[in-house]
Structure 1
């Protein structure tokens, strides 16, 4: 009896002091801005099992930022009621199930982070993200940024985004997509305002046209750490809008003149850690005249960049070439004076007149760091800093390169031509044999045709009978 009186007394005192015993601020850390329009709720690692029955949002609060990261919530319940704009973080909460109408009472939710949970594909459905019911239909929610990365999603239901007309950023990194099936294609194509799509770290071997061809506003696409052999030609369907492309960590085999065709509005390209790339061929980047930032680092097999890899009017500003197998850089590769950033450490560069001329053209604003880059002086075999090269290197008559890979690459066209010639000769020979055999059989047939070799006529005189 005394205990109940104590609880009632505590609740009375709390309410009298403006505190609600069910308020989440009793379990979490809450703070507001000076004008009370922004409320921050920190519930990180509080051993919570639900999102709380009441967020204690004031009438003057316009914006709520709340984080439940690191709690244990196998089933995510509907959010408490508020008309404020909400950003909510629910990462690493062991979430496996979602209740329907999660945000029906928080329709102004703009950002939801559900990353690093255990959500399967069937839990990601339209009824979980619908807004409040309005007599005959469910209203939409204001969601603009949805992070579903690192869950267990292998497909998307085709109408999953029907209540999110404002969705602009979708993160599906680290899930179980091996192929974008027809349902997933329909789901992705329904997001008409999508600007940023992250499909990194899945097991995609191709990018299906149907998943992206309807996107007229897609500017950022992340396809890193998949199983792509070639840059998908389907990307040309979003070439008018796409500005930033990431293909890091794929087993891309070749960069050639047709690799980036149709991607004329790309301004940033990241192509690091490409495990199979050896050469960058002529006109590879010519199809991207607006390219400003290019990262080609940690490509452990990359031995050569063709001197004509860039277009005539290329205006590159940032260039990252760290940790490759490059032993030379051609002075005519780029207008080096236009670069604002240039990094090319950890390459087995050979000191040359080209390198010296490059250093003289680089802007003084580009860092001359003490730890490199270095090159090997062919006259002494010693390693020296590239930025310490003198003009006397240009008087050195360089011997024929001993780099077998380089020689083989630049004679690859001859090898291809020889192979084509041999195949052509072989096919022609086979056709000639077949034709000769057919003609021979025809000759034999005609020569053995059963005509009589000689027909003799013996005129016999007959006497007419009267």
Structure 2
């Protein structure tokens, strides 16, 4: 056996706690195959040197909230291991962490103090076998909320089954070339979380070859626009999360090339004011849309969706919407619709929407409300009656007012333009006449008239 692996076993044995279940809470499933051990907040300073239970096939171990500055390799077992080591003040990782637990499927190392230098390929090697290191079985790796700014290009070479990678809350202000190569090497990647990293763009090289990537989380970054490189994974992407970004606008090209997106979350976009026509038309399979807490969002174009779309869940809470157009969606197909806390004017649109919505949609008394222009009081939307269709809302009045003044300004500008053009033509004609007269004077053979005075004529 390889010398480093033998040394690893000696270290593990030296760390033995005796019976771990005397310190932690242990439970076994009814069939005795699954062991769950809860060591949360137990004041531990290292992982156990031996796992309890000899015949279990699955071990679920929780070590959150302990103080483990250096994480030593896990104890030997053939069982499938799922381990949580979050909030443990981990700064250092020993090499071959999972060499004795090659069947580990889930590892949570989030909310620790790990730097980029500690996340390297030698920490995730499997057991040594004659000439090479075997892979480990890990499918879900959580490295969120550490201090990682870059990844080595070969960091995942011993994890061929990795499907879910969480890098949220680190220091990836840019996706450098090494990190791009590292992420692109994960051939089975299905879910990538890069939230809360101050990213201003997403690099195409990192994701362009991921044919299995179904979920991408880019929330809490500094994106001004939806990344134009998303169509490179458009065939597989089903869940897209863009919350908490300063995205400026949604237009018809924003989500083009994403035909298979089922869930879209665009909440807390601090600069979004309008959703323009055909914004969501390129996502015919979209079922769940969350468009809430956009404090500047004033208007959603009535043609924002395509004619072939069937949204089932629609969240429009806490925006700055004065109106929702009845022709926006086929309301009868919704299963969930929330639009509380908007400064809505009571209107015929809202009345028709309330009547078209299925009866099983929750109707709670704390909302939604609209302002009745007749009484200047808030009214429960689902209590509106048909007579509201005879009343012009503030939005309609303001729109007509703006249109009237725009028309008047337009007419005034046209008249002014005509007058300016006429003055320009007259000035041009007068200028031309003066110019021609000047040319004639200049071409006359005598520039001055010669006068003779007969009084001074000599004899």
| TM-score (ref. length: structure 1) | 0.82
Give structure 1 regions of 4+ aligned residues with deviation exceeding 6 angstroms: none
- Mapped to 2, the partners of 1:278 and 1:252 lie a distance apart of 10
| Structure-to-structure mapping, 1:238-387, within 5 angstroms | 238-387=233-382
CA drift of 1:400 comes to 6.9
CA drift of 1:31 comes to 2.0
1:163-222 deviation line (CA, Å, top 9, x unaligned): 000000000000000010000000000001000100001110001000100100000000
1:140 matched to 2:135? The reply is yes
Task: Specify the alignment match of 1:116 in structure 2.
Answer: 111
Structure 2 unaligned regions, length at least 5 = 1-15, 414-459
Does the aligned pair in 2 maintain the 1:23–1:52 contact within 8 Å? no
Task: Specify the alignment match of 1:106 in structure 2.
Answer: 101
Structure 2 residue matching 1:349: 3-state secondary structure: coil
1:52 matched to 2:48? The reply is yes
- Mapped to 1, the partners of 2:394 and 2:314 lie a distance apart of 29
- Mapped to 2, the partners of 1:202 and 1:341 lie a distance apart of 32
- Mapped to 2, the partners of 1:206 and 1:159 lie a distance apart of 23
1:265-311 deviation line (CA, Å, top 9, x unaligned): 00000000100000000000001010000001100000000000000
CA drift of 1:399 comes to 6.6
Task: Specify the alignment match of 2:447 in structure 1.
Answer: none
1:35 matched to 2:31? The reply is yes
Does the aligned pair in 2 maintain the 1:57–1:82 contact within 8 Å? no
1:127 matched to 2:126? The reply is no
| TM-score (ref. length: structure 2) | 0.83
- Mapped to 1, the partners of 2:348 and 2:307 lie a distance apart of 22
1:235 matched to 2:210? The reply is no
Aligned residue pairs, count? 391
- Mapped to 2, the partners of 1:402 and 1:23 lie a distance apart of 77
- Mapped to 2, the partners of 1:111 and 1:118 lie a distance apart of 19
Task: Specify the alignment match of 2:153 in structure 1.
Answer: 158
Structure 2 residue matching 1:354: 3-state secondary structure: helix
CA drift of 1:46 comes to 1.1
CA drift of 1:53 comes to 1.1
Structure 1 unaligned regions, length at least 5 = 1-19, 419-466
CA drift of 1:41 comes to 1.1
Name the Cα RMSD after superposition: 1.9
Structure 1 residue matching 2:229: 3-state secondary structure: helix
